[in-house]
Amino acid sequence: MVDFFFELDKVASPDSVSRSDQMKLVESETDKKIRETLVSSVSYVFGNLVILAFLERMFGPLSSAYVLGHTPDQGEDFYVVLVNGSAIVKVELSRSYDSEPENLITLSVDEYRNILLGRQSQLKLSIAIELAAGR
């Protein structure tokens, strides 16, 4: 089912496929789990005032923010976030209270897609873009 989703994506633009057809294509258990994880990541970003304020300073008001990756380290956490459906932000956040995010890297969605390895990561990005678009 995932292969069919990618094949359809190659031959038809998302606008030419009806919403019901898109939903039928994104019904696998893997897709559902990814979708649930992404949806729950929104509350983390919007609930973390440090991250939220930082992203709003960089991008203005946020319409959406989905955590695509989170890597905990000893004293800091590394995040990859899709912001407003159009920019990817890689950022380091110290675990110290009220510390400012550091080492910001901003990429376009296309730049990020080109460096992604693995079908699961590609799928996660595609689903996050759909969610950001309100689908």
pLDDT at site 27: 60
* The model's pTM: 0.75
85-107 pLDDT, tens digit each: 999 999 988 877 667 777 889 99
Stated as kind and residue range, the H or E segment containing 77 is strand 76-83
Q: Which residues of 10-24 are buried (b: 16+ CB within 10 A; e: fewer)?
A: eeeeeeeeeeeeeee
Measured in residues, the chain has a length of: 135
How many whole angstroms separate alpha carbon 28 and alpha carbon 75? 36
Examine the pLDDT at 12 and tell me if it is beyond 50.
no
Measure the CA–CA gap between 10 and 38, rounded to whole angstroms.
24
DSSP 10-62: HHS-GGGS-HHHHHHHT-SHHHHHHHHHHHHHHHHHHH-HHHHHHHHHHHSS-
For residue 82, the tally of other CB atoms under 10 A from its CB is 24
